[in-house]
Each structure stands twice: as C-alpha cells, then as structure tokens.
Amino acid sequence: MPLKRASRTRLTKAAVSGESASPVPEVELASTASDADTDDAYRRRPRQSRGQKRVELLLDSAAAVIAESGLQAATAEAIALRARTAKGSLYQFFPNRDAVLAALALRYADEMRAIHERAFPIDPHGLALERLIDRIVRPLAEFHDRNPAFRRVFATIEGPADDTRSAPARLRSQLFDSFVDRLDVLFAARNPKLPSRDRRRAALVSASVGQSILAPRSRAAAADKKALLDDLRRLLVAYLSPLLDPPKAVKSPTKAPTKAPTKTAAVAAKRAR
C-alpha cells in the first residue's frame, strides 16, 4: 500500500514571530500525516467511536510490544494478544502488521507535528537563547519519554515508494526536513544578518545533534535522562550563541580633536622660554 507523498505548507518569519511581512525567504514545510495518508494505512477506516477505540487499542498494543520486545516481535498475533482481541479483529482494519506499523508511525507523526507547531510560533527576540532552546527541546524529550517505541517504529527500512514497510522511514525523513526548515526560519528571525548558507547548516547540525541524543536518551536510565538533556542544552547554546547572538561590536572611544594653540598662548610660551 502506498503512503502518499506529504502535502506542503509555507512558513515565513512572520509565522514564527507574529510579525508582518519580512525579507526572510519563505520556506516550504512538509506536512505529514494528512487524512489521505492515514487512509492508505487502513483496510477499513473506522467510522464510529467504537471502531476508533478498537483501532487505538490495537495501535497502543503494537507500541507496547515494540517497546518491550522490538519491531520483529510485533506480529499480528502478538498485537492481537496484547490487545486481548481476536486476530481477525486486527484484520478488519489492517491488511497486515506492516500496515499497523504505518498507522502507528502516522499517529506519531501527527503528535510530533503538533509539538513543532506549538514550540516554534514564538518571537525569538524576546527570549534568552537558553530559554528558546529549552522551549523546543523539552517537549521533544517528553515525547520520546512517552513513546519508547517511536525510535524503533521509525527505524530505516529502504524500499520502493509503494512499499508499506518503508512508510515509517519516509515519514521520518519528512519530519526531519520539516524540523530543519522551521529551525532555518527561526534562526533567520533571530539573526537576519546570518548568511543563508551558514543558517541552513546551523539548522541541519542542530537538528542532527538533537536527534542523535534524544532518541537514545529514551533508553537511558532515569538518573541519566536529566543529565543528557542538560548536556544537549549546553551543547546547543555553545554552538548557536556565536551564530544567533553574536557579540555587538564595541565602538572605540573617539578622541577629541587637538586644538591648535591660539596666538596669545604662542606668544606667552615664547616669553616663558
């Protein structure tokens, strides 16, 4: 079953800071998990609340199996057993277990997209860089804590565009690209003088560093999770501070011009000699 290509929306500096039109270039963002996308993961889309609750139970059960035992353990039988329902109930809504994983990935993508939208529409000028970074990083860390199966569901599986098994990997790529786009626009609003190439590189590095720490952090011991999050904040502040909050050039004090001696002063000096 194909997972349809995400539609695209436009984001500008005004959307981030609430300002009117600005010279910052518009950036296209991948909008993930539309209704059309979701339909592709289902054999039959639930139309009543009872059916929707059954689907949510199956997705919750799939996430629990994956978090505890890994992706390969999430067979149709294991998911149905965890949900305390017949396997036939699963097949009423999904053609196979890969479609269940695709639907779970779509649900994760919807939640992640909502987190992005809540974190970024702010005026970046009114916050210290430490608070700005915390506003973005903290809800992402909380998302990973709530969803330990996320990392495994979005594991890279290469395949053709119409292969349901590769749908989570394509979604992950769309989410990452959208996140980089949002950072790019945010950085442009924070420091309009930063060259576009440097700004884009900073967005890519920041997103990559955050992803590389937040995903494995979900597997860390509880005592280490706060320390890892604090380290991520410090790392991003140290990297972004020179780019987004460069020190202002200090003007050297101007010396008062030396006045030429008056004729009277010159005569007095000559008599003194």
| Rounded-to-integer distance, Cα 250 and Cα 169, Å | 49
Domain span at residue 139 reads 107-247
CATH number of the domain that residue 120 is part of = 1.10.357
Q: What is the pLDDT of residue 126?
A: 81
Domain membership flag for residue 8: no
Does the pLDDT value for residue 245 go beyond 50? yes
Q: Can you name the residues that pair with 116 across neighbouring β-strands?
A: none
Domain membership flag for residue 50: no
Look at 22 and 234; give whichever has higher pLDDT: 234
| Rounded-to-integer distance, Cα 229 and Cα 273, Å | 76
Q: Write down the H helix ranges in the chain.
A: 13-17, 35-41, 49-69, 76-83, 87-93, 97-119, 129-146, 150-153, 167-190, 196-217, 222-244, 263-272
Domain membership flag for residue 117: yes
Least confident of 151-155, 173-177, 265-269: 265-269
Domain membership flag for residue 165: yes
Domain membership flag for residue 28: no
Domain membership flag for residue 154: yes
The C-alpha angle 224, 226, 229, rounded to 5 degrees, equals: 110
Q: What is the pLDDT of residue 257?
A: 60
pLDDT digits (tens, 9 = 90+) for 161-194: 455 566 788 888 899 999 999 999 999 999 999 9
**What's the total number of domains in the chain?**
1
pLDDT digits (tens, 9 = 90+) for 25-34: 444 444 444 4
| Rounded-to-integer distance, Cα 246 and Cα 239, Å | 11
Q: What is the pLDDT of residue 270?
A: 60
Mean pLDDT for the chain overall: 79
| Identity at 86, one-letter amino acid code | A
Number of neighbouring beta carbons within 10 Å of residue 84: 9
Look at 115 and 267; give whichever has higher pLDDT: 115
| Rounded-to-integer distance, Cα 147 and Cα 218, Å | 8
C-alpha dist (Å) from residue 136 to 62, 122, 159, 181, 267: 28, 11, 32, 14, 74
Q: What is the pLDDT of residue 35?
A: 46
Domain membership flag for residue 129: yes
Quickly state the pLDDT bin for 41 (edges 50, 70, 90): low
**Strand, helix or coil for residue 10:** strand
| Rounded-to-integer distance, Cα 46 and Cα 144, Å | 28
Furthest-apart CA atoms within the chain: distance in Å: 118
Q: What is the pLDDT of residue 2?
A: 41
Q: Dihedrals φ, ψ of 30, to 5°?
A: -75, 125
DSSP 152-173: HHT------TT-GGGHHHHHHH
With contact defined as beta carbons under 8 Å apart, do 241 and 129 qualify? Answer: yes
Q: What is the pLDDT of residue 19?
A: 42
Q: What is the pLDDT of residue 90?
A: 93
Domain membership flag for residue 273: no
Does the pLDDT value for residue 40 go beyond 90? no
pLDDT digits (tens, 9 = 90+) for 129-143: 999 999 999 999 999
